[in-house]
Structure 1
Amino acid sequence: MTQQDENRISERADLSITEHTVKTERHTTFYLAAGPENGPLIIFVHGWPELSASWRHQLPTLAALGFRAIAPDMRGYGRSSVYSQPADYAQEHIVGDMLELLDALGREKAVWVGHDWGSPVVWNLASHHPDRCYAVASLCVPYYTLERGLDQLLALVNREVYPENEFPAGQWDYMLYYEENVAEAIAPMDANVFRFVKLLFRKGDPTGEGKPAPTATARRSHGIHGMSTIPDLPRDTDVLTEEALSIYVSALERNGFYAPACWYLNHGVNAEYAMTAQNGGYLEMPVLFLNARYDYICECTHSRLAEPMHTYCRQLTEETIRSGHWMAQEKPIEVNAALVKWLATRVPEVWPQQK
């Protein structure tokens, strides 16, 4: 075997996704990793009710470019620590988990990428610990919104779509449903995880644009998605493979939906934590926001939801992708292309150096 052949084998090994665990006195984080261990670090943070495997399309792509790509199971999910008290899922604790992960990896900084509830985590890292961030990117959830609590979201509701007399909480009614009756909210999910995952992970529907999201009637319908029972829909093959479906169902059947739901039960303390951000909440580092055109909960195309971000992000890059909420899984090529372009042009100091 020649030296060139050995190098090729080594390069292929870098692209494989491996499993790891970091244990500290306060928390255990399971994570997936790909790419050379000395490559520039990029950490992908999933949301509700996902897993590290949600980034299965991004890890090998960034690894192939020479990045060290990491995706943890977040607190309450998968093979990371699960806690019994809602207060344990406040943003400040979760940010602490990510800082411990960064320390365990022996790094000072990373590029952070978040989606859904992973977005408040990376926004809080950027605003409270800018010295640990090269740059931050978010899919679907803009800055200066969810991490600042439910009241901030309610103030930005599009009242043309959600008249206040009919939809007082707009599309965020489901968050009040969690607060008021979390046991009822998660009972159908726990009763049939397989059906719920198939219902949830679906591609975007252009025909829903300009119409109220089903989540806007969660309380009166006694169901998160505006329905009290879960239909048995076929798997959406544009979002989920059989393997991914199996991974989600296995983890959620093992841990249940209570811990993931607890992320929604800390709006007040999360808002207080956000008030302690450095630099008045302004972000000076490069920021990428990927807007999902057909995400009708985190709806930024026709509403004011992204307006505060335009004020508080000094180096903002935005791109709209015609997808639903599960953007990284529905449109991985477009997401990867936008992410790589941004890294190469707006964060060139982290671009992997060719040997």
Structure 2
Amino acid sequence: MPFPITEHVVKTKRHTTAYLACGAPDAPVINFLHGWPELSISWRHQLPVFAELGFRCVAPDMRGYGKSSVYAQHSDYAVENSVRDMIELLDSFGREKAVWVGHDWGSPVVWDIASHHPDRCHGVVNLCVPYLPGGFAPKNFLPLVDRTLYPESKFPAGQWEYQLFYQENFPAASAAFEANTRNTVKALFRKGNPAGRGQPSRTALIRQEGGWFGGAGRAPDVPVDTDVLTEADLAAYTAALERNGFFGPDSWYMNHDRNVAYAAKAVNGGKLGMPVLFLHAAHDVTCDTMGSRLAEPMREYCVNLTEVVVQSGHWMAQESPVAVNAALAKWLATKLDSVWAP
């Protein structure tokens, strides 16, 4: 019988984390950390596969999401707080180390676990968002923007214009997503389009247009992209985001200075010595690691780095699960054979 995916909660004095788990409780742990605006179910294609391969697979709802704690201050969503959440989660299993896998905003959390708590890592894996040792913040990624595609006169922040919009118009940004949450989820969760390569990302237009969705103040009603989501997945995302709202998810973008200050406290000067796997999304034109210099700091600071290109858009684990799972399994077998021998 396949391992079931089960729901759990761990509570500490400072935080409650709800999480999904799959696999033998005594098996080596892989923690899968989702990003914006996702849930633990974002890893639904990975949990049962790696459970059958011999791991205890864990996927938490990050703070502000799902059934985990929701907070009322922007500062509560600084990456340092999520790092503490995840270390407490690992402690609750009675484990010293795990393999950590992140995507989107889950990636900076994983990178900071690796750079601040390398003793808690067998190895780390990130999808789409590369390592920036100074912290994932505009001051560190703006110098890496492709200015042939994003002239500074037209796109001062390149494809990252949307991040500045949160800081300048936070209530309007959140209100646009909340105006019709179901339509927001359908509009956001779409597969990658190879034709977008070489064209400015839609995220570069957010400030010019006065907000998301062409400044319309609400998402359009588009068909669900069944290559990314089923109707059941859509319903789960919608229900969770309607219940909690977008204040928490959007607040992750409001802590750039705090995240930079935390990155400065990394051990070993931010160098990562453990095995690292990075999966490039070939059709992700916002986190563009293929056509810009965005991945250069990662290559300098990760001494045992494996890179794989996945023919996918940003929602890689959901759009291209077979390719993601194959790359992760190969890396585990070759780089972490002391942890797992298939």
> So what's the TM-score if we normalise by structure 2?
0.98
Deviations 1:121-145 (A, max 9, x none): 0000000000000000000000116
Contact 1:65 1:352 (C-alpha < 8 Å) held by counterparts? no
Structure 1 pair 226–159 and aligned structure 2 pair: CA distance change class (3 A): farther
Which amino acid in structure 2 is aligned with residue 184 of structure 1?
A
CA shift digits 1:208-254 (9 cap, x unpaired): 10110011111121223544242110000000011110110000000
Q: Which residue of 2 aligns with 1:337?
A: 326
The reply on whether 1:81 has 2:69 as its aligned counterpart is yes
Counterpart of 1:112 in structure 2 is 100
Aligned to 1:201: 189
What amino acid does structure 1 have at the position aligned with 2:288? E
* Contact 1:67 1:352 (C-alpha < 8 Å) held by counterparts: no
The answer for the alignment partner of 1:239 in structure 2 is 228
Deviation readout 1:21-71 (Å, 9 max, x if unpaired) = 000000000000000001110000000000000000000000001100000
| TM-score normalised according to structure 1 size | 0.94
Kindly report the root-mean-square deviation, in angstroms, between the aligned alpha carbons of the 2 structures.
1.1
Describe the SS at the equivalent of 1:194: helix
Task: Quote the Cα distance in structure 2 between the aligned partners of 1:284 and 1:225.
Answer: 42
Asked whether the 8 Å contact 2:133–2:263 carries over to 1, the reply is no
Q: What is the alpha-carbon distance in structure 2 between the residues aligned to residue 285 and residue 19 of structure 1?
A: 30
Give the counterpart letter for 1:90 in structure 2.
A
> Are 2:335 and 1:349 aligned?
no
The 1:92–1:86 alpha-carbon spacing in structure 2 relative to 1, beyond 3 Å, is same
Q: Does 1:292 align with 2:277?
A: no
- Identify the residue that residue 16 of structure 2 maps to in structure 1: 28
What is the Cα deviation at residue 150 of structure 1?
1.6
- What SS does the aligned partner of 1:138 have? strand
What does 1:1-355 align with in structure 2 at a 5 Å threshold? Answer: 12=1, 15-144=3-132, 147-228=135-216, 229-351=218-340
Equivalent residue pairs, number? 341
Identical pairs, percent: 60
Counterparts of 2:54 and 2:135, CA distance in 1: 31
Contact 1:145 1:153 (C-alpha < 8 Å) held by counterparts: no
Q: Which residue of 2 aligns with 1:4?
A: none
**Inter-CA distance 347–225: structure 2 relative to 1 (3 Å threshold):** farther
More helix by share: 1
CA drift of 1:146 comes to 8.3
Deviation of 1:148 (Å): 3.6
With 227-236 and 194-203 compared, the bigger mean Cα shift is at 227-236
Q: Distance in 1 between matches of 2:115 and 2:213?
A: 32
Determine which structure has more spread, i.e. the larger CA radius of gyration.
Answer: 1
Q: Would the aligned equivalents of 1:30 and 1:72 in 2 still touch at CA under 8 Å?
A: yes
SS, match of residue 350 in structure 1 = coil
Residues 158 and 186 of structure 1, relative CA distance in 2, 3 Å threshold: same
1:19 and 1:350 mapped to 2: Cα distance? Answer: 25
CA distance in 2, matches of 1:235, 1:223: 22
Measure, in 2, the Cα distance between the counterparts of 1:66 and 1:322.
27
Moved more, 288-297 or 147-156: 147-156
Task: Say which SS state the counterpart of residue 273 (structure 2) adopts.
Answer: strand
Q: Using the TM superposition, give the Cα deviation of residue 147 of structure 1 relative to its aligned residue in structure 2, in angstroms.
A: 3.2
Structure 1 unmatched runs, 5+:
1-11
Note the C-alpha offset of 1:207: 0.5
SS at match of 1:284: coil
Find the residue that maps to 1:273 and give its secondary structure.
helix
Name the aligned partner's letter for residue 283 of structure 1: L
Q: Which moved more, 1:181-190 or 1:219-228?
A: 219-228
Q: Is the 8 A contact 1:146 1:153 kept in 2?
A: no
Q: What are structure 2's unaligned runs of at least 5 residues?
A: none
- Alpha-carbon distance between aligned partners in 2 of 1:122 and 1:134, rounded to the nearest angstrom: 12
